[in-house]
Amino acid sequence: MKSITHINNAIKDLDREVELILLDMRLSLTEKDNKMLPLVEQKKILTKALESLVYLQKNPPKLNQPCGISKYRDD
């Protein structure tokens, strides 16, 4: 899946950005925290998406599986 590759690359890019912020000695700790917080949140979201995609890749849904609501429909 190409999306898994793209998400992995995005996570690596975020890690590099966080590392650059940490190594910047001109910034105070508060400034570093403020700059890193959105990056860490993005990484958390991307990691969850990656976990979901990997799960779906390993456990694909069955073909022609009816949705759950069809059990309750009177045709």
Task: Give yes or no for a contact between 30 and 62, defined as CB atoms under 8 angstroms apart.
Answer: no
Task: Give yes or no for a contact between 32 and 21, defined as CB atoms under 8 angstroms apart.
Answer: yes
Q: Residue 59's pLDDT is what? A: 87
Choice between 68 and 25, residue whose per-residue pLDDT is larger: 25
Q: Residue 75's pLDDT is what? A: 56
Q: What are the tens digits of pLDDT across the range 13-65?
A: 999 999 999 999 999 999 999 999 999 999 999 999 999 999 989 988 777 66
Contacts of 15 (CB under 8 A, 6+ apart): 43
